[in-house]
Copies of this chain bind each other. A is one copy, B any other.
Amino acid sequence: MSRKRVGLSPRHQKILRFLEEFISEKGYPPSIREICDHTQISSTSLVNYYLNQLEEMGFIERGSNVSRGINLLKSLTGNFSHSLKDAANSLNDLISIPLVGNIVAGEPMPVPNSDFSYYDPDSGIEIARTLLPKLDAADQLYALRVHGDSMIDAMVNDGDIVVMKKVNQARNGEMVAIWLNDKEETTLKYFYLEHGKVRLQPANPTMKPIIIDNPKTVEVQGKVVLVIRQVSQK
């Protein structure tokens, strides 16, 4: 009977991409004729036709008889935003965490200086706030890259990024980075203080815990908040 309209044609996508680009560049939406020029679409009526479809699909809103009256609601990535308000929000949702060093077995773990209010944004990683446990103070966070296979029993691989939070003391059940005086190495374990002894539980459930009789021989360096693995070819 009829052709059914499939999702987004190449031209829909081209228009959406141009909208993003133009608004990003100029700060206001393009006119229909400007869309024509930059998308190899020859007729204003055709662009209008596509814009109406994009509005039906919920990608944009249009003002009636309004010049450049296009409100971009969603981008191609599926993200949605209603102009300024949400822009501000989504800016707040993105926090930058300084990548201060590496974890290497046999060396103390780097910890940022107690008073590190400023950091180099270039050597940082960006995280959506929604990935973090509720209201973790962003300025108490730092990140480390794991070198070597020494953390394998914590399910942490070579190359992984560990996001840490500065804490003085661990609470039971938290995963912490711990410096073991006797073994002279840093390890990531779930921490429990029980009957005056420290039990360090590996994340890998097939492995057995370490019991440490004297709590003073261990040093809590930070609490693990997030582990990120950018999977590469191997």
- Where the two chains meet, the residues of A that have a C-beta atom closer than 8 Å to any C-beta of B are 6-8, 20-21, 23-29, 31, 57, 61, 63, 66-73, 75-96, 98, 115-119, 121, 124-128, 130-133, 138-139, 149, 152, 155-157, 171, 173-175, 190, 201, 203-206, 224-234
Which B residues lie within 8 Å of A20 (CB)?
A: 84, 88, 91-92
B81–A91 CB distance below 8 A = yes
Q: With A68-B28, A138-B78, A229-B226 in contact, is A84–B234 under 8 Å at CB?
A: no
B173–A233 CB distance below 8 A = yes
Which B residues lie within 8 Å of A23 (CB)?
A: 83-85, 87-88
Query: When chains A and B are docked, how far (Å) is the Cα of A133 from the Cα of B23?
Result: 26
Q: How far is the CB of A150 from chain B (nearest CB, A)?
A: 12
B119–A78 CB distance below 8 A = yes
Which B residues lie within 8 Å of A206 (CB)?
A: 149, 152
Out of B76, B91, B117, which one reaches A86, CB within 8 Å? Answer: B91
Q: How far is the CB of A16 from chain B (nearest CB, A)?
A: 11
Which B residues lie within 8 Å of A81 (CB)?
A: 87-88, 90-91
Q: How far is the CB of A226 from chain B (nearest CB, A)?
A: 6
Which B residues lie within 8 Å of A93 (CB)?
A: 94, 126
Out of B72, B117, B126, B152, which one reaches A128, CB within 8 Å? Answer: B126
B72–A27 CB distance below 8 A = yes
Task: Using A20-B91, A25-B83, A29-B84 as known contacts, list a sample of 11 further A-B pairs with CB atoms less than 8 Å apart, ordered by residue number in A.
Answer: A21-B88, A24-B88, A27-B73, A28-B28, A77-B139, A81-B88, A82-B84, A125-B131, A126-B131, A133-B232, A157-B204
Q: How far is the CB of A53 from chain B (nearest CB, A)?
A: 14
Out of B79, B131, B156, which one reaches A121, CB within 8 Å? Answer: B79
Out of B67, B121, B232, which one reaches A78, CB within 8 Å? Answer: B121
B90–A78 CB distance below 8 A = no
Q: How far is the CB of A25 from chain B (nearest CB, A)?
A: 8
B7–A204 CB distance below 8 A = no
Which B residues lie within 8 Å of A116 (CB)?
A: 7-8
Q: In the complex, which residue of chain B has the Cβ closest to the Cβ of A152?
A: B204
Out of B71, B190, B228, which one reaches A28, CB within 8 Å? Answer: B71
Which B residues lie within 8 Å of A133 (CB)?
A: 230, 232
